[in-house]
Chains A and B, each alone.
Chain A
Amino acid sequence: MLEIKCPYCGKRSQNEFSYGGDATIKRPQLGDEISTEDWDNFVYYRDNPRGKHSELWHHVSGCRQWFKVSRDTATHEIFDTCKMNEDFNV
């Protein structure tokens, strides 16, 4: 079980969190014309990297904040976590 540092609450066990997927995906602007390909890339397509991955986690059984985690998908090492409006230090 991972130990994740919530930027608001501090270190907590993984069972307090839920995973939210790739943090680098940007939702297209509302009202913009979007090609089917771009839309499909947003809705369906995700990279599945081995190694460093920026991802979203939600502290569901805690402060209920969404935040960013930089994690190694192979070793589970967590390099850094930060709030949504912040950038990773590492």
Chain B
Amino acid sequence: MSNSFRTTNSTGLINKDKKINFTFNGTIYHGYEGDTLASALIANGVHLVGRSFKYHRPRGFLGVGVEEPNAMVQLHDGNKSEPNIIATEVELVEGLKAKSQNCWPSVQFDIGEINNVLNRFFPAGFYYKTFMWPKSFWMKIYEPFIRKAAGMGKAPLLPDPDRYEHNYEHCDVLVVGSGPSGLASALAAAKNGARVILAEDKPNFGGSLLTDEVTIGNMSGKEWASDTISQLKSMPNVILKKRSQVFGYYDHNMTVMIERVSDHIENPSKYTPRQRLHYIRAGEVIVSTGSIERPISFGNNDRPGIVLASAAKEYMKVYETLVGKKPIIFTNNDTAYSTALEFIKNDIEPIIVDTRDSSNGELVKEVQQKGISIKFNSGIADTKGHLKINSAIIGKLDSSKESFISEETVECDCICMSGGWTPTVHLSSQAGNKLKFNDDIDAFVPDKKRQKETAIGAANGSFTLNQSLAEGFQVGFDLSNKFTDQNNPTNSPNSNEPSYEKHEKLWCMPLPSGKKPKRFIDFQNDVAVSDVELAIREGFRSIEHVKRYTTLGMAGDQGKTSNLNGLQYVSKIEKKIVPEVGHTTFRPPYTPVTIGAIVGREVGNHYLPTRKSPIHTWHEENNAVFVAAGLWQRPRYYPRGSEDMNSAVNREAANVRKNVGICDVTTLGKIDIKGPDAPEFLNRVYTNAWLKLPVGKARYGLMLREDGMVFDDGTTSRLSENHFHMTTTTAQAANVLSHLEYYLQVVWPDLDVNVLSTTEQWSGIAVAGPKSRDLLSKLFPDVDMSNEGLPFMGLVDSSIDSIKARIYRISFSGELAYEVNVESNYGLYIWKKIMEEGQSFDIQPYGTEALSTLRIEMGHVAGAELDGRTIPFDVGLNSMVSQKKDFIGKRSLSKDAFTESDRQTIVGLVPLDKKTKIPEGSHIIEDNSAVAPIPKLGHVSSSCWSVEYNNPFSIAIIKDGKNKIGKNLYAVSPLKDISIPVEVVSSHYVDPEGTRVRS
């Protein structure tokens, strides 16, 4: 049995000296180097691969490459497991494991096949009809059932262990597909000096030249292909990529190509990526993607063993494999006769069924000369054989070809069908090309292009070799000349090929007498002729609607083999010509692409860049627990011993209130602002006045958006007459810079101001607490740290160990506090120095949690309050708004909605029991027993444990907040099912007069 379906010739591209073992559904088989999983299985007589999507019908191989709709398998296991892989695209590699999908308990005996028996209950649109009633069944019964039944393979549950890379390429001419026209155009373009990329999906270049009996010049087609490839290989301006599928065509000639780098290698090196995604920006794209053979719809045309004639030929010629030994060739055109001749070469006499009345094509005559009789004017009506075809019912067609006159049963083990050829127009269509219908070939071809894209050869509907080569050489030269101007054309060599007679416009066979077998159009989505009929009967007219109702041409397959047959059938029922029916939209990706390749290296730690302060290593060494603040990693708290977060945070915050704390504030945004108009600019950007800020002083500033909402806040200081240092919140740093640049470059270009981010040039260290003055006096003995010498909002330059430092007297914690800024590289040194000197003052580091606690109980607003929905009035900052000058967003503040007195404003909340912490995001309501919908007064924005009063405290933004102070309300969180009685207090819970910061 083993490899009993191999041919005896060795003219193909497999290496019979190298055996490769693989496992399919637990059985060990072998194939040879150069095989695909498909060719190796067929060589071993295995045609049953999987079960169909909807009816769980036994399915085998239809095609030989990307067009394969049926033969999807689950590859590998564990973390390498991958579902829905097309077996025709998998190169055989030692130890490969594959199994069937969509079947249980086995592919031979599948319980789900009951759907096939019950198929009259599963018509098109069945989901839309069946699961509508009763409504309550949806969540508990229908949805879980559909979820279980839907899909084919199983998604792996473990992280992908493989490495994927991204690559960016630029070229003058990208050629997609290496058949005769592709090779010709690549050669012509390259010889004319253009930078060329030639992409081929298969492991071998050559396309149809690998299987067609033709001559070019004095060489066979196959020889010419390999000769052309070696010429291209020797040219430095050419990149050749095989195993590479260009699957998407996006704007401005950006194409995306997936390269299978190491799937076919037995033991790839650790650093070889599995796949590589290439983003190629091409000056011109040549679409030489060839064509795909069309199936024919007839009764039970989906049994394992029924294949495309071209696929049968390629299995013989390239893979030295027979799809069967008792073949029937079923065709409406001449090309399938080359498959017949290939069988004859292997001493197998096929039965030939041709729907046409006659043909005088060269190949037809050649077959007849070999003594094979042809059943003209006939078609296949039905087939038999449960898991593999064993016979066909061949019928004689009547003159209208709408029914069979007589039927006979013929034994067979395969049917090789051909319904003619469909140009592969997916990429052109994706590029925005408006396709036109070509009556000669009964298919759509590219027409009006929107991008720099040119289809040639079979993809352009040019089905003869002569034409393909001529187009290839001409287009390759013309397009490359746009870039090189070398004017060096390459002439097309003479070629010889058989002549073909025209196909017949017949893609759907009549039903056999007295029976109604399913005649499939779309194999992947289990769409039969009857489904299309039903959709039209039910009133769906637009082809886009028919597509969605029946699922014809959807999913991973994108209608490669089914699209035109579907359209043709709709046009027949509707009695319209195909161009009137139109076609559906082709969407990327042309072939399924694994998510890993799309993600590339942007996984795990590489998902986003990580920003670390220069002091980061100290935090790590001192047991910091980190939290992400945008891209930054910031210390959240520093637990000691077995401390949990709450106790650590309370300890850190309390120590700031009692002694002194140190906090890394390097992450704050910093912007250097210079120029004679800098004060005027700040005056326009901030809501408060800036013209008269003295040199050596800092000021708190508030920025609005034009719509009046608070955008950002921070302190900005005047370093000299025309030089300011702005700080922003960590989160908005980048946005504030863009905002400033916008106003300087777009709105007020007359202002002479320059802005520059200096966030990464400065390291900032906050030193806060009643003992901070004493500590800093010790560190900077030269500086007068007294309240008069360095008052609140003052700044001074000094140094430690000859390292320049700028000391600001600013505070976020509400305590007496300073911020020491040094050049980034000295951040760690100075931090350590402060820690060392601070020991005698009981200094402790504090993280972002304690920082929040301190600012919340002081009523200082931050991101949770400045959430893009609050104006200064809402957050108690009306005093920051100048009445005297205009500034960004000011006009919005006088709009009606913004001047209502009962707007939601900031307040403090304390739970009545002084124990229960109020979750952030809780709703504030007045009446706990009210019936829904309960009017909502506002929400809790920030919560902490007040270390000053030793009870929970929250900031909330509630309707008419000022007049609610002293009242009792409820904070409710329906998600957590809690309701907490609270008292409304001032948001300035600690030191409302602000005496400490000025002490």
Contact = CB atoms under 8 A, between A and B. Distances in A.
A42 B251 CA distance: 31
B254 A39 contact: no
Given A31-B886, A85-B749, A58 B738 contact: yes
A4 B279 CA distance: 16
Nearest to B254: A1
A34 B886 CA distance: 12
Given A30-B684, A39-B891, A66 B742 contact: yes
A75 interface: yes
A76 B895 contact: no
Contacts of A31: 886
Contacts of B253: 3
A74 B29 CA distance: 54
A59 to B, nearest CB: 10
A75 B450 CA distance: 8
B346 to A, nearest CB: 49
Given A1-B251, A3-B281, A75-B432, A42 B746 contact: no
* Chain A interface residue number, banded: 20 to 34
A80 to B, nearest CB: 14
Given A30-B886, A66-B745, A84-B746, A3 B254 contact: yes
A63 to B, nearest CB: 11
A60 B279 CA distance: 21
Listed residue (B252, B450, B706, B742) with the most chain A CB atoms within 10 angstroms of its CB: B252
Interface of A is mostly: loop
Given A2-B252, A30-B684, A34-B891, A64 B741 contact: yes
B429 to A, nearest CB: 15
Interface string B247-275: 00011111000000000000000000000
A71 B206 CA distance: 40
A60 B707 CA distance: 23
Contacts of B747: 27
B746 A2 contact: no
A50 B485 CA distance: 37
Contacts of A2: 251-252
A82 to B, nearest CB: 13
B251 A76 contact: yes
B377 interface: no
Interface string A49-90: 000000010101000111000000001101000001100000
B432 to A, nearest CB: 7
Contacts of A75: 432, 450
A18 B735 CA distance: 11
A60 B745 contact: no
Interface string B887-915: 10001100100000000000000000000
A23 to B, nearest CB: 8
A39 B279 CA distance: 44
A42 B708 CA distance: 13
A48 B325 CA distance: 64
Contacts of A39: 891-892, 895
Interface string B856-867: 000000000000
B281 A20 contact: no
A43 interface: yes
Contacts of A84: 745-746, 749
A3 B254 CA distance: 8
A2 B895 CA distance: 39
B95 to A, nearest CB: 39
Contacts of A65: 741, 745
B358 to A, nearest CB: 49
B224 to A, nearest CB: 36
A65 B891 CA distance: 28
Contacts, number: 54
B742 A20 contact: yes
A37 B220 CA distance: 77
B706 A42 contact: yes
Nearest to B891: A39
Nearest to B895: A36
Contacts of B432: 75
Contacts of B707: 43-44
Listed residue (A13, A30, A31, A42) with the most chain B CB atoms within 10 angstroms of its CB: A30
A3 B886 contact: no
A58 B251 contact: no
Nearest to B708: A43
B252 A1 contact: yes
Contacts of B251: 1-2, 76
Interface string B427-439: 0000010000000
A2 B706 CA distance: 29
Contact of B738 (A18, A28, A44, A76): A18
Nearest to A27: B747
B895 A56 contact: no
Contact of A43 (B252, B706, B738, B749): B706
Interface string B686-720: 00000000000000000000110000000000000
A43 B892 contact: yes
Contacts of A60: 738
Contacts of B891: 28, 34, 39
B892 A56 contact: no
Interface in A10-52: 13, 18, 20, 27-28, 30-31, 34, 36, 39, 42-44
A80 B857 CA distance: 54
A5 to B, nearest CB: 11
B706 A1 contact: no
B892 A3 contact: no
Contacts of B892: 39, 43
Contacts of A66: 741-742, 745-746
Contacts of B742: 20, 58, 66
A66 B738 CA distance: 9
Interface string B53-77: 0000000000000000000000000
A20 B746 CA distance: 10
A58 B749 CA distance: 15
A13 B742 CA distance: 21
A18 B684 CA distance: 24
A36 B892 CA distance: 8
A1 B251 CA distance: 6
B297 to A, nearest CB: 38
Contact of A56 (B250, B684, B746, B886): B746
Contacts of B254: 1, 3, 13
A50 B395 CA distance: 56
Nearest to B887: A30
Contacts of A1: 250-252, 254, 279
Nearest to A56: B746
Given A43-B892, A84-B746, A76 B252 contact: yes
Given A42-B706, A75-B432, A75-B450, A3 B741 contact: no
Contact of A58 (B252, B450, B741): B741
A60 B746 CA distance: 15
Nearest to B755: A64
Nearest to A60: B738
A22 to B, nearest CB: 11
Contacts of A34: 891
Contact of B252 (A3, A28, A42, A85): A3
Interface of A: 1-3, 13, 18, 20, 27-28, 30-31, 34, 36, 39, 42-44, 56, 58, 60, 64-66, 75-76, 78, 84-85
Top 10 nearest A-B pairs (CB, nearest first) are A3-B252, A30-B886, A66-B745, A76-B251, A31-B886, A1-B254, A39-B891, A27-B747, A66-B746, A43-B706
15 contacts: A2-B252, A20-B742, A27-B706, A27-B747, A28-B891, A34-B891, A39-B891, A39-B892, A39-B895, A58-B742, A60-B738, A64-B741, A65-B741, A84-B746, A85-B749
Interface of B: 250-254, 279, 281, 432, 450, 684, 706-707, 738, 741-742, 745-747, 749, 886-887, 891-892, 895
Given A36-B895, A75-B432, 7 more contacts: A1-B252, A30-B886, A39-B892, A42-B706, A65-B745, A66-B745, A84-B746
